[in-house]
Amino acid sequence: MERVSAWKKYKNKQLKEIESLAKAYKDFLNEGKTERECTKISVEMAEKAGYIDIKEYIKKGKKLSAGDKVYAVNMGKAVALFNIGTENIEKGMNILGAHIDSPRIDVKQNPMLEKEGLAYLDTHYYGGIKKYQWVATPLAIHGVVAKTNGEVTDVVIGEDKNDAVVFVSDLLIHLAGEQLEKKASKVIEGENLDIIVGTKPLEGEEKNAVKANILKLLKKKYDMDEADFISAEFELVPAGKARDAGIDESMIMAYGQDDRVCAYTSLMAMLETADVKKTACCILVDKEEIGSVGATGMQSRFFENTVAEIINLLGDYSEIKLRRCLAASKMLSSDVSAAYDPTYSSFFEKNSSAYLGSGMVFNKFTGSRGKSGSNDANAEYLALVRKIMEENDISIQTAELGKVDVGGGGTIAYILALYGMEVVDCGVPVLNMHAPYEVTCKADIYETLNGYKAFIKNA
């Protein structure tokens, strides 16, 4: 199938819409570098669009009806939005599902140490990363400190222009002969991703004086003691803002676009869609990068429990109605795919690759090698999705994640498919996936947003 650049079909009106979308998306990336921050921003945007916390309905015993818009938050790290349709929910929903966690470096629970006059925070990387990409680059600390008295304090260090950043050191090239002989996976070991946070000793301290000074500063700014690291969640992410990329400004380079580019477009598709026939749902979840586990991952019962609450608030709950609703639903697993990179062409199969600028990409299956661990979408469902996209002039392409025996990956698609619903992966192609700075094309973001809108209205 020939890949045609979506850029060729745009007129001035569409080009202006693309730039407006890109600016808003970059703002979202800048403000939402963690799953907690993305959830907070998503809730704020939803409330401005008229969505109401489902807890308010439950508390007041108020019933839901067609046209109502509600959201539910899971532990501050995941959110689900529902736009109630005119059709009986037992006939299913149209669902967009993305994840808002991204590969990063996490701070351990007992992290403070000092070595030869340098203060460090001990770390543990999260998700699949090339560890060598994270050294010698400015990093910021994002997270929260939860204290035993119930207080929870937000922490962001390194994003303001007046903030200092932190970093992981690298071995200078002059001494790196032996290091350069190692495999890329061993050049930087996981235990050597500790971040340097200071060199200045606290006056009057003889032992671990630099560490003592860092603790004093944390106490002053965040009222945080060393023991509070036990109940803190600190994530290390690249410092700095999302930027336009390319001399033609056709791309965006930023941290965390896997999968926040699909999370943002899914969210905006929901917020910009008014009345729907079938109930529409957008779910943004945590922990996909480590297997969708835990209470805030897609494997938790949060989504199922929330749908049960929705059906109950519609006034006619039963277990069989919940099961019928889930089985009859249709979903787009909104996740990124690998963009074809000519520099590394030997790792791709050209006819089965996604190309920057060619539009929204569909992955019939993911998994690895013999489709292991994949959701493999049905042909009939793909035909329905194709029809919707064609009728709404959405530029689409299909892809696999590299050559058959080279690698692979997964999404949340297989988890929702367990309910018996139709699911297919689709989203935006990305260069540099899982690197500190990933690259997307503005045209693909635009096509994907419009594709998601078309799906929730017409599936």
Helix 442-458 crosses helix 379-391 at what angle (to 10 degrees)?
110
Tokens of 100: 């808002």
pLDDT in tens, 318-339: 999 999 999 999 999 999 999 9
pLDDT in tens, 37-84: 999 999 999 999 999 999 999 999 999 999 999 999 999 999 999 999
CA 446 – CA 451 distance, rounded (Å): 9
Q: Residues 116, 119, 120, 121: is their CA dihedral positive or negative?
A: positive
**What does 35-69 look like in DSSP terms, one character per residue?**
HHHHHHHHHHHHHHTT-EEHHHHHHHTPPP-TT-E
Query: Which of 79-88, 106-115, 269-278, 366-375 has the least mean pLDDT?
Result: 366-375
Please identify which residue in the block is written with the tokens 């030869």.
116
Closest CA to 41 of 52, 30, 54: 30
- Output phi, psi for 258, to 5 deg: -95, 95
Q: Domain ranges in the chain?
A: 6-102+255-458, 104-238
SS3 content of the chain, % helix, strand, coil (to 5): 35, 25, 40
Q: What average pLDDT does the chain have?
A: 95
Residue 316 has pLDDT above 90, yes or no: no
The mean pLDDT value for 388-395 works out to: 97
Closest CA to 100 of 379, 242, 292, 230: 292
pLDDT for position 406: 80
**Beta strand segments in 276-381, E:** 280-285, 330-334, 337-338, 360-363, 367-368
Residue 206 has pLDDT above 80, yes or no: yes
pLDDT in tens, 363-375: 988 877 788 878 8
CA 396 – CA 390 distance, rounded (Å): 9
pTM: 0.96
Say which CATH class 6-102+255-458 falls into.
alpha beta
Say if 6-102+255-458 and 104-238 have the same CATH topology. Answer: no
104-238 belongs to CATH 3.40.228.10? no
Angstrom distances, CA of residue 300 to CA of 38, 187, 286, 305, 412: 19, 36, 10, 9, 12
Confidence of residue 410 (pLDDT cuts 50, 70, 90): confident
